[in-house]
Amino acid sequence: MPEPSTAAFDAGVAHSLRSLGADGSAPALDPLGDPAGAARALSAAGGAPLLLRVAPELGAPQRDKEAAFGPVPRDPVWLRIERGASAVQLAPLRFAGAGPARGAGGAGGAGEAAAEARDPVRVEVIAAQRPCCGAASCTRERTYVAAWLALAAPASSAGRGAAEQRLLVAEAQDLEAARAEALVEAVAAPLAAALRVPLETARGTESPDAIAPRPLPEPAPEPAPALSAAALSRFAIRSEGELFVLRDHASQGPRGSATRNALIGGLLLLVALALWIQVMRSVAAGDSGIAIGVGSGAALLSLAGYAFLGVARFSSRYAARSAPVASFGPGRFVVAPWVSRTGAIDLRPEGRLGAAISAGEVHGVQVQPRGDRFAVEIDTDHGPIDALLTGREDVARYWRDAMDRAVASVRHPGGPSARQRLRARSQTQQAAAAG
């Protein structure tokens, strides 16, 4: 099936980049997707402006009747920085159109905002403890570390009690607290030094002139292939609550199929109506056999048409501006997770492709050619799963590395699980019986 056009999304991204004085071919950094590459670029000498993609702060998790959901997603934003400059330039991931600007920090992912100058205040590194894998018998904890860039309130709202805005710059999760801290601080320290703002960590506050360089943890992660802003823009990964979620920001999610489903449902109901008319004619003529046969078909088509219209009604109310590709939670991952109408991730361990899969059952993440496109394939005990499809091999390799890190960040350490041992024993017994 052909991939839906991303022309409108690409045009919106190009418009946003132009507002920053950049274009789609400009190199861009995503510390959330490739922290090692961003750390090296930020630490390199040179005064050229840097284009970063960062993420706005999210709200609290949601609940709808009996189902629990993560926080409502928001689009990432572009950040253009110049070393030593007193302000940064902030712009949305994309412009939704040529309508009036409404401020880069607005709800809904900052889709209609204009680029604006903002004053950086500080870079702060925070840490929290999270469960290892969710198993009742596991008492291990992972350390989650995140770096946030605090920006002063816009000049237009000065004096009105506007709060600072926080942007998520980098994050990591590991059973070794020191490794997670080292990876995040390797991004946070050069960023704070470049912006000439204090760096706040658990060890205290470092002034801009006293920020010590932070090496990457050993063994140092390999940087992902460098991507242009246009190539980077479509997919993004970040934490949403306790999940790491990879999203496709060019996808309309369920809303993209609403018109198609409505047309199919309407067509089925029209055919069903014609059949019901024939049923009435057959009954009037005394042809009960024909009436029963045609009536059965009419009933099935009526139910199918009503079902398609119901799906279309739900799809048309999908309010998010992106669709999740995969989510990675304690000890497991889900490809194509279920979502609420706001795009928030359903926290139940299942998705459109079935139940969640244990991260310990992943053999590897590879890039595989699929015709003229490339798939990021997650190879598991249950077989390979295509998680992401793109037309560029370098983009596929970039997100292959990001997904590989996400799986490692939630995988329970140690040998095979009880389920894997049971499966291996069963396969051995079957092979012995067959031999």
Q: Residue 366: how many CB atoms within 10 A of its CB?
A: 15
Give pLDDT tens digits along the chain (435 positions): 445 678 889 999 999 999 999 989 999 999 999 999 999 999 886 778 899 999 999 999 988 777 899 999 999 999 999 887 878 999 999 987 543 334 444 334 444 457 899 999 999 999 999 988 877 788 889 999 999 999 998 876 655 556 889 999 999 999 999 999 999 999 999 999 999 999 999 999 999 999 998 999 887 777 777 899 999 999 999 999 999 999 999 988 777 777 888 899 899 999 999 999 988 988 888 888 888 888 899 899 999 988 988 888 877 777 788 999 999 999 999 999 999 888 999 998 888 888 899 999 999 999 999 999 999 999 999 899 999 999 999 999 999 999 999 999 999 886 555 565 565 566 666 666 776
Phi/psi at 418 (5° precision): -60, -40
List, as one string, the DSSP characters of 183-239.
HHHHHHHHHHHHHT--EEETTEEE-GGGPPP-PPPSSPPPPPPPEEHHHHSSEEEEE
Mark residue 331 as left, alpha or beta (left: phi above 0; alpha: psi -120 to 50; beta: remaining).
Answer: left
Phi/psi at 165 (5° precision): -110, 135
Tell me the angle at which helices 288-316 and 258-285 cross, rounded to the nearest 10 degrees.
160
State how far the alpha carbon of 275 is from the alpha carbons of 134, 265, 289, 294, 300, in Å.
Answer: 54, 15, 14, 6, 11
At 347, list the tokens.
């926290």
State how far the alpha carbon of 419 is from the alpha carbons of 317, 381, 409, in Å.
Answer: 40, 10, 21
Dmax (CA) of the chain: 96
